[in-house]
Structure 1
Amino acid sequence: MTPALPTPSGTLFGVALNYRGLLDSRLAEFGDKPYLKPPQRPVLFIKTPNTRNGHEGSVTAPAGERLQPGPALGVVIGRRASRVQPADALDHIAGYLVVNEFSLPEDSYYRPAVKAKCRDGFCALGDQLVPRDAVAAVEDLTLRLLVNGEVRQENTTANWVRGLPQLLAEITEFMTLDVGDVLITGTPEGRVDVVPGDRVEVVIDGIGRLANTVVAEVRP
C-alpha cells in the first residue's frame, strides 16, 4: 500500500529572490548599504499560521495599501530533513502544490517584511498535493498568474536561482525541516497589483490551479 501523503500543516517557509530575473533586477542596489554584496545564501522568511488560506478563499486587501499576489510552487516535506546532501535532498520531499504568496510591495530585503508578508489570509495553498514521483521535471514547470481570466504574469521554474537539491541542502545545513512543512520556492519578477473584486488564479502545469477572490477590508 502506498503511504498516505502528509498534510501540509507545518511551518510555511518562503524563499525570496529565487528567480534569476528578480535577483538580477536588484543587483545594483545590493552593492550599496546595508547589503554591500548580493546574498550568498537563500533569503528566507516565514508566513505565520494566520496567513493560511485555501482554494476559493477570500483575501482581504488592506485599506490604503497595494496588494500583490505571488505565484509559487510549494514543496511539502515528507521526511525530516537535517543536514541533507544535494544527492539525497529529493528523497525528503513528499510532493508539490500550488501556492499564492500574497504580500504588500517590498522596498527592502534587509529585514523580514513581517507587516507586508504576514497579514491574515496572505498565503493560499492549493487543495491538491501531487506526489513527488508524479512530476518528472520539477525544474521545468510553467507558472501563470491570471487576474479576471487574463494572464498577467508567466515564468518557469527553469529560471530558479537555486534548484531544489541545492536549496534543501543549504537550508537544512542550519535548520531542520519537519514532515508537513512547506517550502515556498519563490515568486518571479513582475508582480502586479490587484484590487477588491478581482479573481486571482495561479496555474502551474502538472500541479494544479488555485483561485482566490480579493475583498475590501471592513473596519469597525
Structure 2
Amino acid sequence: MSRALHEVASGSLFGVALNYQGLLQQHLASFHEAPYQQPPVKPVLFIKTPNTRNGHAQPVTYPSAVQRLQAGPALGVVIGKDASRVSLDNALEHVAGYTIVNEFSLPEDSYYRPAVKAKCRDGFCPFGPHLVPAAQVGNPDALGIRLWVNGELRQHNNTANCVRGVARLIAEISEFMTLHAGDVLITGTPEGRVDVLPGDQVTVEIDGFGQLTNPIVAEQGLVP
C-alpha cells in the first residue's frame, strides 16, 4: 500500500458480514433455525488482525493445508476522526476517505460467528493502492465494484445493494464502541465469492478508485 495510505489507515481493521442484500437473502432460511431464530438486527462484525495487512501488488499466500481460498471485493472506509455515538446525519463527517479492500477468507461455516482461522491468515487483507479523499466521493453508497481473476470479470455488484450504507454502519457501530481515527471499516463483500488458486492474478476495481491487484502464491514448505 502507499505510504500515505499506510500512515492514515494505521488502526484496526473491522469487517461487516452479511451486508449485501443478495447474500443476506441466501441465508435467511437458516437464520430462522436454532440457535438464532431470526436474522441479525445489528451489524455482524469481525476483525482482520494486524498480521492480515497487505498492499497493492503484494502476494497473498494460499495456505498449504486448505482446500479453498476465496477473494472478497469490498469498499474500505478510513475513519478520519474518532466516532462515538454519532448520529446518522453527521456520521460521514468522521470519514477521511475510502479505499479498495480484498478481504480474503477461507469458506465460512457461520456468518454469525466468522472464524478467526478463516479470516485472519497472514496477508489476508490487502487494501489500497491509495486513499481517495471523502470530498472526492459523491456517494459511497452508489459505487460499482468488480472482481477480475486473470483478466476475466468474475463478480460485479454495487454498494447500492448493501443492507446498511456507510453512514448507517458508522452510526450503529459507534453506538457501542468508538471507531478511532485510522481504523478501516470493511463494508462487506457481495454474494458469489470466487475461489482463487496459486498463480492467479486477482484484481478488485471500484468506480473512480482504480484497481487493487494481488498475485496468489502457494505456501512454501518449512525449511528444516
State TM-score, norm by structure 1. Answer: 0.96
Which residue is 1:197 aligned to? 199
Identify the residue that residue 139 of structure 2 maps to in structure 1.
137
> Residue in 1 aligned with 2:24?
23
Match in the other structure for 2:47: 46
Equivalent residue for 2:161?
A: 159
Secondary structure of the residue aligned to 2:110 is: coil
- Matched with 2:212 is 210
**Cα separation, 2, equivalents of 1:11 and 1:148:** 31
Q: Deviations over 1:120-162 (max 9, x none)?
A: 0000011210010101121110000000000000000000100
What is residue 76 of structure 2 aligned with on the other side?
Answer: 74
Q: Letter of the aligned partner of 1:204 in structure 2?
A: I
AA aligned to 1:82 is S
Amino acid at match of 1:99: V
Shift of 1:107: 1.5
Aligned match of 2:38: 37
In structure 2, C-alpha distance between the alignment counterparts of 1:195 and 1:173, rounded to whole Å:
40
Percent sequence identity is 67
Q: How many residues align?
A: 217
**Contact 1:96 1:129 (8 Å CA) reproduced:** yes
**Aligned to 1:91, what secondary structure does the other structure show?**
helix
Structure 2: distance between partners of 1:121 and 1:73: 18
SS of match in other structure, 1:127: strand
Q: Is the 8 A contact 1:126 1:208 kept in 2?
A: no
Whether the aligned pair in 2 keeps the contact of 1:139 and 1:158 (CA below 8 Å) is yes
Structure 2 Cα separation of the partners of residues 154 and 190 of structure 1: 9
The residue identity in structure 2 corresponding to 1:44 is L
More moved, 192-201 vs 57-66:
57-66
Query: Alignment partner of 2:97: what SS?
Result: strand
Contact kept, 8 Å, 1:77 with 1:181, in 2: the verdict is yes
Please say if residues 142 and 204 of structure 1, whose CA atoms lie closer than 8 Å, have aligned partners that are also in contact.
Answer: yes
Q: Which runs of 5+ in 1 are unaligned?
A: none
- CA contact 1:97–1:208 (8 Å) conserved in 2: no
Structure 1 runs (4+) deviating above 4 angstroms are none
